[in-house]
Amino acid sequence: MKPSHAKGLIVAAALATLTTGCQRSGPVAEQPAVAPADAWAGIRDKFIEDRLASSPPFAVDSGRHEYDGKLPDWSKAGIAANIARLHETRDAVAKFDASRLDAALAFERDYVIARIDRELFWLESGEQPFTNPTYYLDGLNPSVYLTRDYAPLADRMRAYVAYAKAVPAAAGLIKENLRLPLPRTFVERAISGFAGYASFFDADVPKIFASVDDAALQADFKTANKAAADSMRDLAKYFEAQRATATQGFALGAEKFAKMLAMTEGVTTPLAELEKIGRADLDRNLAAVMEACAKFAPGKSIPACFAKLNADKPKGGPVAAATGQLVELRKFVIDRKVVSVPNDEQALVREAPPYNRANSAYIEIPGPFEKPLPAIYYIAPPDPTWSKADQLAYIPGKDDLLFTSVHEVWPGHFLNFLHANESKSMIGRLFVGYAFAEGWAHYTEEMMWDMGLDSGDAEAHVGQLSNALLRNVRFMSAIGLHTGGMTVEQSERLFREQAFQDPGNARQQAARGTYDPAYLNYTMGKLMILKLRTDWTSTRGGRGAWKDFHDAFLSYGGPPIPMVRKAMLGKDDDGVLF
């Protein structure tokens, strides 16, 4: 019979007393020191587990389904505890001597610090839980239970029921946390978002789970889902009442905007210089689109050129066309040696579900802890309640769609995450940053054109440039809205006149800039990658080294691009990023 654990402790204690009170006849055996790599692994892994526990939606999306059905602790005390934990972890990581680690682990240490700084900015300086409804709208998204086939439908229904039961309490905390008055665009975003959840819960979710043959579960679902819908409807009404007192006070201000860039993306370029860089790239693309339109639509204005582009609709509809595009794009990437394709995994194309059509196109990619499941590239159809003319106008032109497919799948987001999931570091697999992900995806649009996609066809070039101009104006609007006194109306005009957007899209893009000040990251990330490519390949064969550059760049996962620049060039450029 084995001795009990308690008895073993007593024996150990007795032996300790004897050895301290008696003269030893032999040498004392020293306990082996913990290896630096093992000590670091303990700190890193605790950070990961704490991060998953503090954000169950992130954990579930990453494939950790023991967190199914849970929402974060959005109470003021819970938010304060999360901030305190992040500071404690950052202190522990910063105190860890990186010189004791090999290069890969030292980089991982800095990656963790960068990720913590990003989160602390939005929680503390940005005060998102108390100022920005999108903080909650993003956290409430239950799409993983509805569209990802990670478990039988009945099991996902149980997870959704648990989630729905948590929603009313979350709604109460949202109302309690968001300080009034809010900026007008924030109020409108809150109304549309929370009302959208209510109608989605009412109309769409029941259809998804209708086939589950479990009367008790269906009854539980009906009650929980109704309560969730009612709480979202009440929240939308609450914000409707705030319209009368809504303000224009959305701007972060120059000091906080610069701090955002430094803490979230490691960019310390002075704002005046950054604005000049953005204007120069906008002018470059405006000149390019004038030249491309002169070939594609000679004698026509640029708006007329864009109208001609959008009139050339994809045959068979966007989903069928995009499915064919992905086959051709993957072949192009491989044949032209654009970047390595790590495995045979491919994304599927589907029509976006009714509850999630705010974005015209997006991709959902299972996280690194998830069992093998396909990524889904979703394309939203036009609203069937619109006029036939508006529905037709909403469908993108085939070459606009082509560069959307480049951005979302080959070799954009999807290939980025295929490479990230090959990273030896779980930090690299879990945390792909905003400027890295969107900068890479946007960079690939121009890069694929430069490498010969569509053999220099002028229509395709207009399609690529239409996407570039949209992101250019986001860059200029983010800086203008938050540091230069630009109004929402002035931003709308910029989107109409220099990105050639229709009035509806221009309004939407300008409003987004007020509550997503970091949406300059598309162009900012792209420009940092272009500069890094020039500098890295200059001593490695120039254009012939692009594939090697792409493989090297993507191998880091998704940290702030200045970190990648320093690692790839082997030096610190003192902020020279563009």
pLDDT in tens, 419-444: 999 999 999 999 999 999 999 999 99
Q: How many separate helices (H) and strands (E) can be counted in the chain? A: 27, 3
Residues in the chain, pLDDT under 70: 1-33, 355, 358, 574
Amino acid at 439: G
For residue range 246-287, what is the model confidence (pLDDT) as tens digits?
999 999 999 999 999 999 999 999 999 999 999 999 999 999
Residues 6 or more apart from 507 whose CB is under 8 A from it?
492
pLDDT of residue 160: 98
pLDDT of residue 420: 95
- Provide the token pair at 446: 């121009």
- Provide the token pair at 432: 């792909």
β pairing state of 376-379 and 348-351: parallel
pLDDT of residue 17: 32
β pairing state of 348-351 and 361-364: unpaired
- Measuring CA to CA, which residue among 240, 124, 231, 140 is closest to residue 189? 240
Radius of gyration of the chain from its Cα atoms, rounded to whole angstroms:
26
E strand or H helix that includes residue 474: helix 458-483
- Provide the token pair at 456: 């220099």
Sheet with 361-364, edge to edge strand ranges: 348-351, 376-379, 361-364
- Measuring CA to CA, which residue among 447, 417, 468 is closest to residue 332? 447
Domain boundaries, the chain: 37-245, 268-345+383-569
pLDDT of residue 488: 98
pLDDT of residue 573: 74
pLDDT of residue 505: 83
Please provide residue 104's backbone torsions phi and psi, each rounded to the nearest 5 degrees.
-65, -45
Task: Give dist(CA 315, CA 193) in Å, integer.
Answer: 33
pLDDT of residue 20: 34
The predicted model scores a pTM of 0.92
State whether the Cα torsion 486-487-488-492 is positive or negative: negative
578-to-401, 447, 535, 569 alpha-carbon distances in Å:
29, 17, 10, 14
Task: Give dist(CA 19, CA 284) in Å, integer.
Answer: 78
